[in-house]
Each structure stands twice: as structure tokens, then as C-alpha cells.
Amino acid sequence: MIKIYLARHGQDKDNEMWILNWHRDMPLTEIGLDQAKQVAQKIKDSKIHFDKIYSSPLQRAYQTAKIISDYLQVDAPEKNELLIERDFGIMTGKPTKDSKKLCSPDIIQAELITYFLSPEGAETFPQLIIRAKKLLDFIKSKHDGQSILMVTHGDFWKMIYAAYYNLDWQEVLTMFHFGNSELLLLSDDSSAEDSHIFNIKQHNS
């Protein structure tokens, strides 16, 4: 039985400035580096083993993944394009606080985040579900019976979660928040409700 762990990258410079970053390739802040080290230490202390680590190609995710692999003294992460953040289209580079004003009524309001659904040029959540299923098919076909870590981004991780457990993507957006450098487990013997492994102190959404 495969175990798939999901981690979100630590705080990057756009997170710090409350900017919608999409593929803007910003590095981790000092806080983000510390968050990555915290989750790496928690993983090490918990004796969680990974047979393989995959990362989004964006540096905020790869930096996080590399810190984890260094702590665990395992092979460096492999970049996988399927793990890249959602394309935000015309919302790229906009302040997060403007999401509701610019995209209403085509939004879903969660406790901490306003999710815009289909601004011009953006990937929709149904499109992300398709990408998530493609990613999961790849992982399951290549790593049966292994423990895999994937380091990715906020919007896309939720669609991986929804695709794995066959949940409605609209409900998933409002179920709970997935903060910087937090860790989840997707497994046949781990229910959707019990997937959250580690919480890390948050400074941004």
C-alpha cells in the first residue's frame, strides 16, 4: 500500500507581502526557511521514512523539499512539473486582499482565503483535479508499496487531496486550511478527516 505525504512550501517573499504568486519564482523568507526546518525536524523525530521526494519546480517548493531531504539524509528531491502551482491568470501579482473585489461573485469564501474560480487565463479547479489525477496515477504506478513525499502549493495540494479521496472540490476548499510547511498523509488506511500530520506556526495564509 502506497503512502503519499503532502507538504506545502514555507513562506516565500510573495507570501510575506500578501501577493498572489502563481509561477512568480520567489525564494523562501527567513521565516519560510525556519518553517521548512521545523517540519523537517518533526519528520525526522517521528521517524517517517520516504522512499522518494518529489517537488514542484518552483524554488519555494524545491528549497523546502531540499531542507527535508538534507535533514533525513536521503536523495535530493526530483522536480515534477505536475506539482507546480495553479496558474492564477490575470490575478498573478495582485494583492490577496483584492481577490474578492476583482473576482466576485465568482468566488468561494473560506475562513482565511478567498478562492477565485475562473478569472481570465487562470486554471480552474476542475482542471486542477484532472492534473491531480494524472499525478496520482503516475505516483501509484511507479511507487506501489512505497512512502512518497510531494512538496507543492496551496491551491493544488487541495485538489490532490480531493482527487485522492474522491471529494467534492468545492467542499474541500472550505474544509480546512493548509498552511506553509504543514504535512498531510494520503493513504487507504488514513481517512480524509485524519490526514493532517503536523501543524506549523503560520504568518500568512
Whether the predicted pLDDT of 201 surpasses 90: no
**Alpha helix segments (H runs only) across 147-188:** 154-165, 169-175
pLDDT band at 5 (very low <50, low <70, confident <90, very high): very high
| CA-to-CA dists, residue 13 to 10, 22, 123, 166, angstroms | 10, 12, 23, 33
| CA-to-CA dists, residue 56 to 37, 59, 60, 130, 192, angstroms | 18, 8, 9, 17, 23
Residue 9 in domain: yes
Q: pLDDT per residue over 28-57, tens digit each?
A: 999 999 999 999 999 999 999 999 999 999
pLDDT band at 199 (very low <50, low <70, confident <90, very high): low
Residue 198, strand partner residues: 183
Integer Cα distance of 60 and 58 in angstroms: 6
Percent of the chain residues past pLDDT 70, beyond the cut:
94
Whether the predicted pLDDT of 178 surpasses 70: no
Residue 47 in domain: yes
Residue 81, domain CATH: 3.40.50.1240
Number of structural domains the chain divides into: 1
Q: 0.75 cut: is pTM over it?
A: yes
Residue 44 in domain: yes
Integer Cα distance of 60 and 16 in angstroms: 12
Whether the predicted pLDDT of 86 surpasses 80: yes
Phi, psi at residue 41, to the nearest 5°? Answer: -65, -40
The region of weakest confidence among 6-20, 107-121, 186-200 is 186-200
Whether the predicted pLDDT of 175 surpasses 80: yes
8, 179 Cβ separation under 8 angstroms: yes
**Alpha helix segments (H runs only) across the chain:** 13-16, 30-45, 59-72, 99-103, 125-142, 154-165, 169-175
Residue 203 in domain: no
Residue 204 in domain: no
Residue 181 in domain: yes
Phi, psi at residue 108, to the nearest 5°? Answer: -125, 125
Mean pLDDT of 165-170: 96
Domain around 180: 3-198
Query: What pLDDT, on a 0 to 100 scale, did the predictor assign at position 202?
Result: 46
